Amino acid sequence: MTIRLDGQVAIVTGAGRGLGRTHALALAERGAKLVVNDLGDDRGRSANAETVVDEIRAAGGEAIAHGASVSDPAQVTDMVSQAMDTWGRVDILINNAGILRDKTFLKMSLEDFRLVLDVHLMGSVNCTKAVWEIMRERKYGRIVFTTSSSGLYGNFGQANYGAAKMALVGLMNTLHLEGAKYDIRVNCLAPAAGTAMTEGLIPDAVYELLTPESVSNGIVFLSGPDAPSRKVLAAGGGGFAVFKGFETPGVNLLSDGLSPEGIAAAWDRIDAEAGMSELNAGFEQTTKFATQAAQSLGIDLSKQTSE
What are the Cα distances from residue 292, in Å, to 7, 53, 242? 51, 57, 30
φ, ψ dihedrals at 56, nearest 5°:
-65, -45
Annotated catalytic residues are: 161
- Residue pLDDT, tens place only, 40-72: 887 878 999 999 999 999 999 999 999 999 999
Mean pLDDT of the 73-85 span:
98
**Residues whose CB is less than 8 angstroms from the CB of residue 291 and which lie 6 or more positions away in sequence, other chains included:** 301
| Burial class of 1 by CB neighbour count within 10 A (0 to 12, 13 to 18, 19+) | exposed
What are the Cα distances from residue 23, in Å, to 66, 167, 235, 248? 16, 22, 13, 37
Closest CA to 222 of 15, 88, 27: 27
What are the Cα distances from residue 75, in Å, to 117, 130, 217, 283? 18, 10, 29, 37
- Residue pLDDT, tens place only, 157-186: 999 999 999 999 999 999 999 999 999 999
261: confidence class by pLDDT, cuts 50, 70, 90: very high
User: What is the pLDDT at residue 200?
Assistant: 62
- Residue pLDDT, tens place only, 81-128: 999 999 999 999 999 999 999 999 999 999 999 999 999 999 999 999
> What is the average pLDDT value for the chain, to the nearest integer?
93
pLDDT beyond 70 at 264: yes
